[in-house]
Amino acid sequence: MPAIHYDAWKPEYKKPFGAVKVNSEVTFTIDAVNLWLKDPKLVVFQDYFLKEYPLLDNHDGSYSAAFIPSKAGVYFYYFKTTVVENNSENFYCCCKQHGGISQLVTNEDQAKTGAYQLTVYEQEVSKPAWYQAGICYQIFPDRFFNGNQDGHLNQRKPNSFIYGTTQDLPMYVKNADGSIARWDFYGGNLQGIIQKIPYLKDLGVTIIYLNPIFEASSNHRYDTNDYFKIDPMLGNQKDFEDLVAKLHQNGMKIILDGVFSHVGKDSRYFNASQLYGDKQGAYNDPHSPYYPWFTFKKYPTEYDAWWGVSDLPTVNKNDPTFQDFIYKNADSVIAYWTRLGVDGWRLDVADELPDEFIEGIRQKLKQFPEKILIGEVWEDASNKIDYHKRRRYTSGFNLDGVMNYPLRNALISLFEQSQTPLETAEALMTLRENYPLNFYFNALNNVGTHDTVRIWTALKGDFLKISQVFACLFMLPGVPTIYYGDEAGLDGREDPDNRRFYPWGHENKALFGTIKQLIQYRKTHKSLQSGDLLLMADDHFLVIGRFLAHEAVVYVLNASGIRSIYLPEQLQKIHDIPNLAPKLAQKLAGKSFDPWQSQLIELVI
């Protein structure tokens, strides 16, 4: 193959790096030293658009083309040319091989499949200072702490049971058809969170994200029964207002879970079991004001339900009255709770919400200062296709950021050794490339949530690896999030096992201390809060750096599983800044690292 080269992650080939704002010029350059290229072109395309631009000869062995995107969206691109050599002409395309590095193929269909991505956004999203510098803590309310005297329960739910002790393991009691027969509860409540604010403050938490707290039938409360009522098992409106006030008094913010794709079968809006009266709800009355919210196939027993789960009737998000109810009206769900002091919302299953619906929520939320809107998206949000439609998450008018499950996947793959440090670095840098900068810094980073295996379990209780995965979490851009109990070494496989009660009095104090130190280190280093990312790697070492102005913090990890010598000349500079690699080499060249040993280094650059 002829020597044609391109690397999207290096400024000499693509400028500027990463996502760009609409109507901004992007310059692409390929190297083709000592080659004669005939009719070289840059090919840019979208789902329903393709255009070619001539690559102009720079007379130094390189060829360049400029592209100015006039519309926001996700573009893809590759290069094509005919190479004239030895009196013959051969057609080649230059497309992505791995990371930012190119490969040559002879088939244009292959080039389209392996094309590079260019994200184009309308505007940068806001990046509230409290959020960017924050340390988030996710709480599953029923499983955290009961703040009532003598463990008294606020209210018992019908068709449920309370565990004998908080050490009992969660377990579903199911019917023969797999549906839930009895919901299980431990009795955690809002007063419990209030009582544990000193604990959270000592750990270093500045933001809490709560799984749903509105009235529901289940323990997880993703089956909302009443959007305007706190679930009685958790407390009441006064308890919530006290929680918000006390959090704010202690310098903490609160993010609520907004579940707007579906409601509970027993909600006042659907009311299949007539909990809210025998004439109320769409299930009982086709003239109900809520009837247009739902799609009945055979009234009333057959209806659209979220992923076919009959307990969760799907709501028609395009219905104007539902939009009024959730976000448009002055007394809508979003407006009501935000006025009470809520600092942000996390949208459950954002993929199930139309872009226009999310944008309506964001428009309402931005009427309040310094609020944040995060979406549950499990993949790279920049290029997500859902229901045959390309989503607008990164446009600047949609979500402010997303939960960063790709980061979790990359880190766990690294520590399970199913992925090399180099592959991990490339996965991490791909998000940096694809996301607009503020959107990228707004990512809610996690290594575990209520929907995943706990990190202690995923890494088989290996204290060293678990400590290092948290070090990576606090090193990387975005807002680090601790799933309640992970700092205490709580075990847990898939749901429901990952929703155990917090092990008060039985915490892993060593892990707690390690995470507390990492939090403090991040808080005292501005570069870890707002500094850009640099990455270097090889088959042994992963190097994560954050730099701001003239300083950098660098984390060097031997992720090979064997004793290794740090050899800087072997590291691939995934994304680097001038003078960093030589300074790092002076400190570490030839130093030996035990398996999973790391070192934090502060450098002046």
Could you say which of 376, 380, 487, 538 is catalytic?
376
CATH, range 531-604: 2.60.40
Structural contact between residues 214 and 204, judged by C-beta atoms closer than 8 angstroms:
no
Structural contact between residues 79 and 13, judged by C-beta atoms closer than 8 angstroms:
no
Distance (Å, whole) CA 534 – CA 572 = 11
Distance (Å, whole) CA 98 – CA 86 = 30
pLDDT in tens, 323-376: 999 999 999 999 999 999 999 999 999 999 999 999 999 999 999 999 999 999
Could you say which of 184, 348, 352, 426 is catalytic?
348
Distance (Å, whole) CA 455 – CA 508 = 14
Strand partners, 27: 15, 66
Q: What CA dihedral angle connects 7, 8, 12 and 13, to 10 degrees? A: 80
Q: Which of 1, 119, 112 is nearest to 52 (CA)?
A: 112
**Per-residue pLDDT, 188:** 98
Which of 97-101, 153-157, 479-483, 488-492 bottoms out in mean pLDDT, i.e. has the lowest? Answer: 153-157
pLDDT in tens, 8-59: 999 999 999 999 999 999 999 999 999 999 999 999 999 888 999 999 999 9
The token duo for 548 is 């701001």
Identity of the amino acid at 559: A
Residue 376 annotated among the catalytic residues of the structure: yes
Strand partners, 46: 49
Identity of the amino acid at 202: D
State yes or no: pLDDT of 111 exceeds 80. Answer: yes
174 CB neighbour count, 10 Å cutoff? 11
Q: What CA dihedral angle connects 321, 322, 325 and 327, to 10 degrees? A: -110
Q: Say yes or no: do domains 14-121 and 531-604 share a fold.
A: yes
Q: Taking the CA of residue 62 as centre, how many other CA atoms within 13 Å lie in the half-sphere pointing to its CB?
A: 15
pLDDT in tens, 396-409: 999 999 999 999 99
pLDDT in tens, 381-430: 999 999 899 999 999 999 999 999 999 999 999 999 999 999 999 999 99
pLDDT in tens, 248-271: 999 999 999 999 999 999 999 999
**Per-residue pLDDT, 578:** 77
State yes or no: pLDDT of 86 exceeds 90. Answer: no
Q: Which of 473, 496, 395 is nearest to 438 (CA)?
A: 395
What is the radius of gyration, based on Cα positions, of the chain?
26
Residue 348 annotated among the catalytic residues of the structure: yes
The token duo for 481 is 């999030």
State yes or no: pLDDT of 605 exceeds 90. Answer: no
| Sequence spans of domains, the chain | 14-121, 531-604
Task: Return the DSSP state at 314.
Answer: B
551 compared with 341, residue with greater pLDDT: 341
Distance (Å, whole) CA 200 – CA 512 = 12
Q: Domain 14-121: which CATH class? A: mainly beta
What is the pLDDT confidence band of residue 132, given thresholds at 50, 70 and 90? Answer: very high
DSSP per position, 468-517: HHHHHHHHSSSEEEEETTGGGT----STTGGGPPP-TT---HHHHHHHHH
Q: What CA dihedral angle connects 86, 88, 91 and 96, to 10 degrees? A: -10
State yes or no: pLDDT of 84 exceeds 80. Answer: yes
Task: Return the DSSP state at 317.
Answer: T
**Per-residue pLDDT, 425:** 97
Element (H, E) at 323: helix 320-323
Q: Is 190 helix (H, G, I), strand (E, B) or coil?
A: helix
State the greatest distance between any 2 C-alpha atoms of the chain, in Å, as a whole number. Answer: 90
How buried is 49 (Cβ within 10 angstroms: 0-12 exposed, 13-18 middle, 19+ buried)? Answer: exposed
Residue holding tokens 């060293």? 464
**Per-residue pLDDT, 87:** 86
Average pLDDT over residues 456-481: 98
Query: Whole-model pTM?
Result: 0.97
**Per-residue pLDDT, 464:** 97
Element (H, E) at 121: strand 116-121
* Share of the chain residues as helix, strand and coil, in percent rounded to the nearest 5: 25, 30, 45
DSSP per position, 406-466: HHHHHHHHHHTTSS-HHHHHHHHHHHHHHS-HHHHHT-EEES--TTS--HHHHTTT-HHHH
**Per-residue pLDDT, 218:** 97
